Amino acid sequence: MERILAIDFGERRIGLALSDPLGITAQGLPTIDTRKTKDIFSYLQGIIKEKKVARVVVGMPRNMNGSIGPKGEEVKKFIGKLTQKTGVKVIAWDERLTSVLSKKSMREAGTKQKKKEVVDRISATLILQSYLDSLSEKESLTDEI
């Protein structure tokens, strides 16, 4: 199966996660510091090529009522550029509450690290796992028919 890359987009950091080859689990990758990485799209293209990524899922920030605010508009622009520069299918995925869940899972795991890079990586992992779970739910429904 194809590998899927997830992106938790931020101005200072970009959290990343990658699916296993079977598309069952998500694993976090090192976070990109946008202040230190000059060409983010080339960097992402390198990951896409090296890991044989067929699809990218980008967390879409939404307001609690489902509308897209200013941050969501920034993400839309990022998705447009990413699609244009990589040629890979890019999917916007609802990321509401992923940062809250990231911090909660860190507390529950007893992680003393409060680094924002860790939160971004966990957020990307949660975004990807949510997407992967939705795919397996669709397959389960298809199998039952």
Q: What is the DSSP letter of 38?
A: S
Please determine, for residue 30, whether its predicted confidence score (pLDDT) is greater than 50.
yes
CA distances from 73 to 3, 17, 28, 34, 70 (A): 27, 22, 25, 18, 5
pLDDT computed for residue 43 by the predictor: 96
**Segment (H or E) for 17:** strand 13-19
* Candidate from 3-7, 41-45, 53-57, 69-73 with smallest mean pLDDT: 69-73
pLDDT computed for residue 64 by the predictor: 76
pLDDT digits (tens, 9 = 90+) for 66-87: 788 889 999 999 999 999 999 9
| Domain that residue 115 falls in | 3-144
Strands 3-8 and 53-60: parallel
More confident residue, 45 or 138: 45
Measured distance CA(128)–CA(57) in Å, rounded:
7
Q: State the CATH number of the domain containing residue 133.
A: 3.30.420.140
Average confidence (pLDDT) over 83-92 = 95
pLDDT digits (tens, 9 = 90+) for 116-142: 777 788 889 999 998 998 887 665 444
**Reported pTM:** 0.84
Instruction: Count up the domains in the chain and report the number.
Output: 1
What mean pLDDT value characterizes the chain?
85
